[in-house]
Structure 1
Amino acid sequence: MDLGDEREAMPGAAAQVRAERIQGMLATDHHGRLKSPRLRVLRERYDQLAEYESSNGSKLTTLRRLVLFGALAIHVHMIRRCQEVIADGPMPPLLLDLFDGRRRSLREASAASLQGGFRAIEQLVLHRIHEHLQEVTGGKAKEFIASLPEGPEADAIRAEYQAQVAGSKPINALTEAYWKVGYSGVGPEGVRGLPWNSLLALGRRSGYLLPYDNRGRGGKEHKRYGANAEFAEVLVAATVSPGEPVDFDDFLDVLKSSFGIVLGRTVDFEAIRNNDLRVGAPVRRSVSVIESDLRANLIGFRDLINEIGFAKSYADGRTVVTTDEAAA
């Protein structure tokens, strides 16, 4: 009979370790605000969306939009976390392609911005693995690799270490070995895979990660950023306060500062080509894109916002974005 008694639930050892790891990331200041600049902005945008939904949403539609925004927030946070942790970490943009992959230069630039995000995640994970191994081994990677017990996983790490160590520092080779073996050869097959696989799945289901081109080429992993009506509505609702319409250019500034989203303004050409939002950052991989395609993409996004009823364009060329549909 005592099976139904209330008792304190204790998390398992693995859950406790995970909880300790994220304490620093979710730390708050004395005002109760998140210390992480990116998480703080994403939380503000989430609250803004909730305010919009409280007066405009229905139950099912609200749930869909909140889940969609949650998927986007995870995506943005994972990509931007590298820049918060590593001083010279990259800040790749999210270039939305409004032409369904029909314009090659735009399609490739959008796909390149997504790949830049994946590289940022890889750089962050490698940094964390390197820090941990440096602490565990005391910098003595050779002795550490020799002390590993016999077994298929340790054998795989040793083999990968030997493949990486030529022309590389031992600790860096050990880091690469753990990165590659850890994500490809450890655990049940159903949970293996690189950390951005979850982002791909979330993005595909949420609608902002689309096939590389409109013929479906590229497989599951080669994607580009896109936008449909529902995604555009979420972006407006999360950034524009009710009763406070904003100019289209100011709206784009908020999208860029909040999520890293760019569409093709002249001011963003350099960031798109450098695949990095940091001004003056060293160019690691230059992206080639036709400027006329970027301008057309910008107009396409403006037209999409107009079509869904959240903006109005005037004869003087000005476009105003608002969540007050009647005012638009």
Structure 2
Amino acid sequence: MSNRLKEYGSQVLNDYIQYRPTSSSIKPVHVANGLFRLVSGESYTVDALNEWIIRWKQGKEVNPATEIRDKYNDAFDDNGFDDDEINMLRYYLNIIFNADNAAFPSANNTVLTISSKTQVRGSVALEAGLHSFLYRILTTEVNGQASPCLELIKEFLENENDDLSRIAAPLTKFAKKKAHDQTAKTDLPMLSGVELRLRSSFDKLAENEMFSGNKLLTLERIILFGCFAIINHLSSKVLDLSSEFPVDDRVPILIDADGGLDSVKYASEETLVVAKLLIERFFEKGLEEILSLENYDTFTHEEMLVRINDLRLEESSRRTSNREEEEEKRKSYRALYLGYFEQLQDPFEAFIKASRFKLFADEYDTDPSTFISTFGGRIALLAPRAQGGKRKRYSPDPLIMEILLLTILEPGRGLTLSQFGQELWNRYGIIFGANPEADYEKLTNWKVTQNTPGDLAGDLAKNAEKIADTLISMGYGKRYADGVTFISLRG
């Protein structure tokens, strides 16, 4: 890819989404580490805790108990531990602090479960700037105020009275502290569209969590919602950038209760496909804005071919290159352009699509649409959870449903199931059948219903009943004799 086009790609990512979700290895703990570091303004070395957790490398013991005892003698009481006791303790520490499997023999890239600021480490590549996007959402002033989430996170990270922080304390005392810049930017653009809706959700979640008394659960909820927010933003932002969408439209997220209704299951899979297509359009919109500044939108078909032939195609950041490879890349680029041009008969649009494809094929380990499949599985938003060839659908774990509920409801204010469904649509584009006819119409508008098997309209109502049953079993709903279900926070 040419250096200039790399710059285009970088500009698109920086100007339009502020983060680089281009790895399938990103995990929620990476998001947590980056965000917590920005909020607390501190990070610590995690070498001691990491050496206890990691005992093996490629089947060979790298940190035997005898070395652990000698190196961390100050961590033991006067009675000490024998080797078996040390190794058993290390086994349990691994389960607790390596829950996301993000620890490695070298601490350079390790990110551990975080219960306090002492487990926050410096930056790692897999954070991918995701935390900066969330931090911007939280720090940008709305009605003259930053999000209450910031103070809540900082307060909980300072508090080390929870069980996990006390367990880690004998080892985190070996850590070295480093300060990080917390300077707030004063030139941040005002939030609007999907970003403003997500900020409102963060604020409501913080308000509902302030008196929960469960620090660890609150931090988990904030991070899981942050991960959902990244996915929702990626798929929805193009609606804010393009005039072809009505202002009140949303990208549909059809939640499938349990996979038991084939029509709902299929339609949910299709809404995930829609989201991925709109992510591609998001990046194309960015390229369109940038390339228009250099008058690419005025090029004829012949001029565009000349431009492609004149581009200097450098070696990819992931491959070595020679002159023959450069020409092969040029042929591939030209073929992509010609293929899109044959379909679209628009040289600028064809060039945009070819450039977007080449940027992600040649420069990154994965593309954002693949990223949301793997990342969505990791936060239990999508099913099946594991990576693989099966089609994924929106089928969130009850914890995710609980978090979404906490971003909308207020204490003492109940909503009917229908009202709750409308709130979810307005905020996130979520559909689950609470308003079957309206939900079916929304899916039809997005061309999701065309090939759906069975009676989708009827099955949407059944799906809503299953979702209601789940919320009732969690203590967030009540069904009355007249069949009306009310959703509210637990008293």
**TM-score, normalising length from structure 1?**
0.79
Q: CA deviation at 1:322?
A: 1.2
- 1:73 and 2:244 matched: no
Percent sequence identity over aligned pairs: 25
Q: What is the match of residue 160 of structure 1?
A: 333
- 1:295 and 2:465 matched: no
| Structure 2 letter corresponding to 1:248 | L
SS across alignment from 2:452: coil
The 5 Å alignment of 1:6-17 reads none
Query: For the structure 1 residues 295 and 21, does the alpha-carbon distance in structure 2 shift closer, same or farther, using more than 3 Å as the test?
Result: closer
Rounded to whole Å, the distance in 2 between the matches of 1:259 and 1:57 is 28
Query: For the structure 1 residues 29 and 54, does the alpha-carbon distance in structure 2 shift closer, same or farther, using more than 3 Å as the test?
Result: closer
Q: What is the match of residue 486 of structure 2?
A: 320
The 5 Å alignment of 1:105-124 reads 105-124=263-282
Rounded to whole Å, the distance in 1 between the matches of 2:371 and 2:280 is 14
8 Å contact from structure 1 (residues 157, 181) kept in 2: no
Q: Which runs of 5+ in 2 are unaligned?
A: 1-6, 19-132, 146-189, 317-325
SS across alignment from 2:394: strand
Rounded to whole Å, the distance in 1 between the matches of 2:427 and 2:336 is 41
SS across alignment from 1:198: helix
Q: CA deviation at 1:295?
A: 1.3
- 1:233 and 2:417 matched: no
Rounded to whole Å, the distance in 2 between the matches of 1:150 and 1:262 is 45
Query: For the structure 1 residues 57 and 225, does the alpha-carbon distance in structure 2 shift closer, same or farther, using more than 3 Å as the test?
Result: farther
Q: CA deviation at 1:79?
A: 1.4
Q: What is the match of residue 253 of structure 1?
A: 422
SS across alignment from 1:320: strand
8 Å contact from structure 1 (residues 247, 320) kept in 2: yes
Query: For the structure 1 residues 45 and 219, does the alpha-carbon distance in structure 2 shift closer, same or farther, using more than 3 Å as the test?
Result: same
Q: What is the match of residue 471 of structure 2?
A: 305
SS across alignment from 1:312: strand
Q: Which moved more, 1:34-43 or 1:108-117?
A: 34-43
Q: CA deviation at 1:258?
A: 0.3
1:44 to 178, 200, 203: 200
- 1:270 and 2:441 matched: yes
1:143 to 271, 289, 306: 306
| Structure 2 letter corresponding to 1:286 | Q
1:97 to 253, 256, 262: 256
Q: CA deviation at 1:21?
A: 5.5
| Structure 2 letter corresponding to 1:261 | I
Q: What is the match of residue 347 of structure 2?
A: 170
Q: CA deviation at 1:169?
A: 3.3
Q: CA deviation at 1:122?
A: 0.9
Q: What is the match of residue 9 of structure 1?
A: none
SS across alignment from 1:129: helix
**Looking at both structures, which has the greater relative contact order when contacts are Cα pairs under 8 Å and sequence separation is at least 6?**
1
1:286 to 446, 450, 453: 450
RMSD over equivalenced CA pairs, Å: 3.0
For the pair shown, which has the larger CA radius of gyration, 1 or 2?
Answer: 2
Query: For the structure 1 residues 309 and 222, does the alpha-carbon distance in structure 2 shift closer, same or farther, using more than 3 Å as the test?
Result: same
SS across alignment from 1:97: coil
Deviations along 1:146-193, whole A, 9 cap, x unmatched? Answer: 22125455542442223432523333332222112111122xxxx422
Q: CA deviation at 1:227?
A: 2.5
Rounded to whole Å, the distance in 2 between the matches of 1:205 and 1:127 is 28
Rounded to whole Å, the distance in 2 between the matches of 1:82 and 1:303 is 35
8 Å contact from structure 1 (residues 204, 210) kept in 2: yes
Q: CA deviation at 1:103?
A: 2.4
Q: Which moved more, 1:143-152 or 1:228-237?
A: 143-152
Query: For the structure 1 residues 58 and 248, does the alpha-carbon distance in structure 2 shift closer, same or farther, using more than 3 Å as the test?
Result: same
Rounded to whole Å, the distance in 1 between the matches of 2:306 and 2:449 is 37
Q: Which runs of 5+ in 1 are unaligned?
A: 1-12, 276-282
The alignment of Structure 1 onto Structure 2 pairs a total of residues equal to 295
